[in-house]
Chains A and B, each alone.
Chain A
Amino acid sequence: MNLLHLFRRGSAPVARERLQILLAHEREARNEPDLLGVLREEILAVISRHVAFDPDKVQITMDRGKNVSTLAVDIEIPNRRRAADTAAPVGRLALEPRPALARSLWTNGLV
């Protein structure tokens, strides 16, 4: 509370902006099923129909913005093996060398 502080911009505008974005998403989510959860399940189901992958090697990140949200799904898919001929336990797949990276990225107003 000295002269220096008078020239420093307060943090309230940041608080306000963060709350507005967060609550817009939470209010929407209140009346709908968990969109992120649904997408994750369905995307993984589709991919597992074609390739075998280790569920532990799936990374899903989400960034919720004011107008646009992004959902990124990173799945490590082992090379040269298809789901049909992979009877090996999931844990072994993670040991495969040079896993290919399947990356899906949505950027179109997913909220």
Chain B
Amino acid sequence: MNEGKSARVLVVTSGKGGVGKTTSTAALGVALAKDGDKVVVVDFDVGLRNLDLVLGAERRVVFDLINVINGVAKLPQALIRDKRLENLYLLPASQTRDKEALTEDGVAKVIAELRGKFDWIICDSPAGIERGATLAMRHADAAIIVTNPEVSSVRDSDRIIGLLDSKTERAERGECVDKHLLITRYHPWRAARGEMLSIDDVLEILSVPLLGIIPESEEVLRASNVGSPVTLNAALSPPARAYFEAAHRLKGEQIPMHIPSESRSIFNKLFGRKAA
């Protein structure tokens, strides 16, 4: 199954939980696959896997990452091919096995094998800074730091940036992991009223180049509900467009950043109604 490819390894990380790592992994995986690239998304959240659910593949999981590491299954047996996008594959995390089974050598072997078969390997990191999170970032060429414009998320992102600069293979070789900031759950009207950290605030504090701004949207929730990432389920919605643009930026394209803006009328502002 080696197709002579040389994948770029991405880690989607944040430190804090619940900021949108898994959602973003799935949405970006779909966006890159739709563009014709061969993509595998790898769930590193052993014991609390969810990437399968967000991708709508939860009933198709037979083998997982730890089975491959332990030699119970071969890598091609554990890879689940998406039913809608033939270029998209999932390597699920184990739901029951002990986290200790995730070994450094095992992960290194799996990533090395995947590198030859795919254009993109997207590692969905668990929250926290424990083994699962450090192993997810270990082999990364680039990192997507998912941050909400909120104090605890920004602080944790800063901590993760420190780990990316010290604990990754690239850092140990004296090289740098390319870092990209993905701001999710952005509320334009809250930022405009000074109730939420602005994009500029977050960028100034973290000093990481911006990959995209995903506006808060019910489409993202709906996408998770039905097991179809927003870039597949509502491809023209504002969050999906933001993910597509982010995917293009990952491929090196220069696309002007568009900051989601206030979409409510003066009337609604004054009388407190949300725009539809």
Contact = CB atoms under 8 A, between A and B. Distances in A.
Partners in one complex: yes
Interface of A: 1-3, 5-6, 9-13, 15-16, 18-20, 22-23, 26-27, 30
Interface residues of B, number: 20
B276 interface: no
A1 B195 contact: no
Contact of A27 (B158, B197, B198, B271): B158
Nearest to B273: A1
Contacts of B159: 26
Contacts of A10: 193-196
Contacts of A3: 270
Interface of B: 150-151, 154-155, 158-159, 162, 191, 193-198, 201, 205, 269-272
A11 B158 contact: no
Given A19-B155, A23-B155, A11 B271 contact: no
Contact of A1 (B155, B162, B272): B272
A44 to B, nearest CB: 29
Nearest to B157: A23
Given A12-B196, A18-B151, A23 B205 contact: yes
Contact of B272 (A2, A13, A22, A27): A2
Given A26-B158, A27-B162, A13 B269 contact: no
Nearest to B264: A1
Nearest to A11: B195
B205 A19 contact: yes
A12 B195 contact: yes
Contacts of B272: 1-2
A106 to B, nearest CB: 26
A9 B195 CA distance: 8
9 contacts: A2-B272, A6-B269, A10-B194, A12-B191, A15-B201, A16-B197, A19-B205, A23-B155, A26-B159
List 7 A-B pairs, minimum CB-CB distance, nearest first: A10-B194, A1-B272, A10-B195, A12-B194, A16-B201, A15-B151, A30-B162
Contacts of B154: 19, 23
Q: Which of A9, A22, A23 has the most CB of B within 10 A?
A: A23
Nearest to B159: A26
Contact of A9 (B158, B191, B194, B201): B194
Given A19-B155, A20-B205, A12 B269 contact: no
Contacts of B271: 1-2
A83 to B, nearest CB: 42
Contacts of A22: 155
